[in-house]
Amino acid sequence: MAKKIGQKTKTPMPHVDPGVRRHSFGEVATGYSVELARQEAARCIECKNMPCVAGCPVEIDIPAFVRQVAAGDFDGAFQTLSAKNLLPAVCGRVCPQEDQCEKVCTLGVRFEPVAIGRLERFVADYAALMHLSDTAAPAAPSGRKVAIVGSGPAGLTAAADLAKLGHSVTIFEALHKAGGVLMYGIPEFRLPKTIVQGEIEKLTGLGVDIKTNHVIGRTFTIDELFSELGFDALFIGTGAGLPHFPSIPGVNLIGVFSANEYLTRSNLMKAYRFPEHDTPIVRGKNVAVIGGGNTAMDSVRTALRLGAEHAYLIYRRSRDEMPARAEEVEHAEEEGVEIVLLAAPTELLGNEKSRVRAMRCVRMALGEPDQSGRRSPVPIAGSEFEIAVDTVVFAVGQGANPLIRSTTPDLPVTKWGYIVADPETGATQKPGVFAGGDIVTGGATVISAMGAGRRAARAIDAYLHRLPAGGHAAADAFIST
Ligand SMILES: Cc1cc2nc3c(=O)[nH]c(=O)nc-3n(C[C@H](O)[C@H](O)[C@H](O)COP(=O)(O)OP(=O)(O)OC[C@H]3O[C@@H](n4cnc5c(N)ncnc54)[C@H](O)[C@@H]3O)c2cc1C
Ligand code: SF4
């Protein structure tokens, strides 16, 4: 029988004051104490159907770990989480729980749902502080070799699951640090990089070899990973990091950036600490960021922290259609971001030195729903206006990098360049090659990429068990005879 309902609202998450944090790259949310975590966990009514479990893309036993937190068994809670999730400290911070486990929580039907994400973060941080580790023993070595291309959440999850199954796993990452968007995209104030690296160290503890500065398609092709390096199977999790720019006049002016470049400079290259770190970044006084997703929100909040007097977020639809997490929008506004809704840029204007000086925009009205189901923005004639800016950052979507598809002609891709893969197994039409995460779906979420990595790992394991004794090379020889 379900427990009685107690506290009806979530136990609030402590935060740094907005006036302080807008000048700091330190983390905004400071996390639950032991007392707050146990208070929040006690809200779970232990309902019979437990819909939260099905709401989690990696199927964490949420009722069990929440019950363990309520009982003060934090080590047990960490083991429950670790059985399904390699990156709990990351997911507890950035997963959109409001659209997943918390959205379907029974308590949420009448009151606020259990704050599952905050509890996940608490357990992961407690485990890091107390040096707890996953106690599950890996399987005996299988003698099979798997290459993972890309070290974002999809690749990291596939790598961990395959290593636990006894396979020898090597990750090839193009950048100088592993982690994908977790390292280069999401800023320090939402996801501290020491936390990401701490989670990645668990992989090296499992024996996974991480080779950074290895661009697949250049250092080795996909085919060479099989033929020259002797891998038996591959997982491609290269994400969707190719920036898009709109076709309006002025996008080539100085002071105009893609969010990808702007955030990578700041996060990965630590440009916000220039000259202590080598990479510089433009510290605009009047910065406009175009877009309404998490990437736009991260860019505009970064601009504030870099000293902008005005940090505008320009979004062509209304607040209801914004894809960014509601919590991040609230935080941005508290910090002083000026959100301009129902407006889109039509032209960027430069000065005599080809530096951007202003942005011309048009107001929008909402028309009929488009393919995404959201009402499409329609320009209002004669409503043009100008904003004085010295920096413009476009966060209007990203696509697939063409390098792997151009060097692997027998790997089918969609018309947008995403790899065609079975959603249940990640299997592509090229034998031994699996794919998952943003490179298959287009830009999505950390947890959906992790789910894809997990499903592909299961399918790769089954594939490896079917391979003849000589591995991929023998199978290839057999197919070509
Ligand atoms: C700024 C920003 C904020 C976001 N905020 C959130 C959020 O709050 N919550 C959320 O759930 N999601 C968020 N997302 C989305 C989420 O981060 C992605 O959906 C997720 O990271 C996709 O994971 P992935 O493993 O598929 O790819 P990625 O994380 O993109 O990782 C791909 C990796 O592959 C590497 N790579 C690419 N090509 C090659 C190659 N040829 N050879 C070797 N390596 C290669 C890249 O360098 C990268 O490290 C955000 C995205 C961005 C950009
Ligand atoms: S759905 Fe909510 S109340 Fe039910 S078990 Fe899950 S967290 Fe507890």
Given this structure, which CATH class describes domain 244-397? alpha beta
- Residue 281: the pLDDT is 79
Rounded to an integer, the average pLDDT of 263-279 is 81
Model pLDDT for residues 77-119, shown as the tens digit of each residue: 999 999 999 899 999 999 999 999 999 999 999 999 999 999 9
State the pLDDT confidence band at 481, using cuts at 50, 70 and 90.
very low
The phi, psi pair for 451, rounded to 5°, reads: -60, -40
- Residue 336: the pLDDT is 96
Nearest C-alpha to atom 2 of ligand 2 is from which residue? 105
105 lines ligand 2 (CB under 6 A): yes
Point out the ligand 2 atom lying closest to the alpha carbon of residue 116.
Answer: 7
- CATH node for 18-129: 1.10.1060.10
State the pLDDT confidence band at 195, using cuts at 50, 70 and 90.
very high
Rounded to an integer, the average pLDDT of 274-294 is 87
DSSP state of 258: E
Point out the ligand 1 atom lying closest to the alpha carbon of residue 150.
Answer: 34
Give me the DSSP letters along 192-231. -HHHHHHHHHHHHHTT-EEE-S--BTTTB-HHHHHHTT--
Pocket test for ligand 2, best of 52, 67, 81, 112 (most atoms within 8 A of CB): 52
Distance 424 CA to ligand 1 centre (A): 20
Task: Tell me the CB-side half-sphere exposure of residue 233, using CA atoms within 13 A.
Answer: 29
What is the separation, in whole angstroms, between the first and last Cα of the chain?
63
Average pLDDT, the chain: 93
108 lines ligand 2 (CB under 6 A): no
50 lines ligand 2 (CB under 6 A): yes
Count of beta carbons in the 10 Å neighbourhood of residue 243 = 18
Task: Tell me the CB-side half-sphere exposure of residue 428, using CA atoms within 13 A.
Answer: 26
Note whether 475 and 468 are within 8 A (CB).
yes
Q: Where are the domains of the chain?
A: 18-129, 145-241+400-480, 244-397
412 phi-psi bin (left φ>0, alpha ψ -120 to 50, beta other): beta
The number of the ligand nearest the C-alpha atom of 439 reads: 1
Note whether 236 and 419 are within 8 A (CB).
yes
44 lines ligand 2 (CB under 6 A): yes
Point out the ligand 1 atom lying closest to the alpha carbon of residue 439.
Answer: 26
The number of the ligand nearest the C-alpha atom of 113 reads: 2
Pocket test for ligand 2, best of 4, 100, 114, 118 (most atoms within 8 A of CB): 114
pTM summary value? 0.94
Identity of the residue numbered 284: G
State the pLDDT confidence band at 3, using cuts at 50, 70 and 90.
confident
Note whether 270 and 277 are within 8 A (CB).
yes
| Topology alike, domains 18-129 and 244-397 | no
Identity of the residue numbered 318: S
Rounded to an integer, the average pLDDT of 300-304 is 96
Task: Kindly provide the b/e burial profile for residues 101-137, where b requires at least 16 CB atoms within 10 angstroms of the residue's own CB.
Answer: bbebbbbbeebebbbbbbbbbbbbbbbbeeebebeee
CA dihedral 251, 253, 258, 262 (to 10 degrees): -160
Distance of alpha carbon 15 from alpha carbon 374, whole angstroms: 32
User: At residue 430, does pLDDT exceed 50?
Assistant: yes
Count of beta carbons in the 10 Å neighbourhood of residue 316 = 24
Note whether 398 and 292 are within 8 A (CB).
no
- Residue 475: the pLDDT is 64
Nearest to 231 by CA among 333, 148, 305: 148
Nearest C-alpha to atom 1 of ligand 2 is from which residue? 105
- Residue 137: the pLDDT is 80
User: At residue 267, does pLDDT exceed 90?
Assistant: no
Point out the ligand 2 atom lying closest to the alpha carbon of residue 108.
Answer: 2
Point out the ligand 2 atom lying closest to the alpha carbon of residue 104.
Answer: 1
95 lines ligand 1 (CB under 6 A): yes
63 lines ligand 2 (CB under 6 A): yes
60 lines ligand 2 (CB under 6 A): no
Note whether 28 and 304 are within 8 A (CB).
no
DSSP state of 2: P
Model pLDDT for residues 392-415, shown as the tens digit of each residue: 999 998 999 999 999 999 999 999
Distance 397 CA to ligand 1 centre (A): 13
Residues 6+ apart with CB under 8 A from 226: 234, 432, 472, 473, 476
The number of the ligand nearest the C-alpha atom of 103 reads: 2
Q: Report the alpha-carbon angle 291-294-296, nearest 5.
A: 35
106 lines ligand 2 (CB under 6 A): yes
Better pLDDT: 194 or 133: 194
User: At residue 330, does pLDDT exceed 70?
Assistant: yes
Model pLDDT for residues 45-62, shown as the tens digit of each residue: 999 999 999 999 888 999
Rounded to an integer, the average pLDDT of 306-330 is 94
243 lines ligand 1 (CB under 6 A): no
Query: Of all residues in the chain, what percent carry a pLDDT higher than 90?
Result: 85
The phi, psi pair for 33, rounded to 5°, reads: -80, 175
The number of the ligand nearest the C-alpha atom of 46 reads: 2
Point out the ligand 2 atom lying closest to the alpha carbon of residue 113.
Answer: 2
Task: Kindly provide the b/e burial profile for residues 367-379, where b requires at least 16 CB atoms within 10 angstroms of the residue's own CB.
Answer: eeeeeeeebbbeb
User: At residue 480, does pLDDT exceed 80?
Assistant: no
Locate 305 and state its tokens: 């922290």
The domain covering 145-241+400-480 belongs, at the CATH homologous superfamily level, to: FAD/NAD(P)-binding domain (3.50.50.60)
Distance 108 CA to ligand 1 centre (A): 30
Identify the helix (H) or strand (E) that includes residue 77: helix 74-82
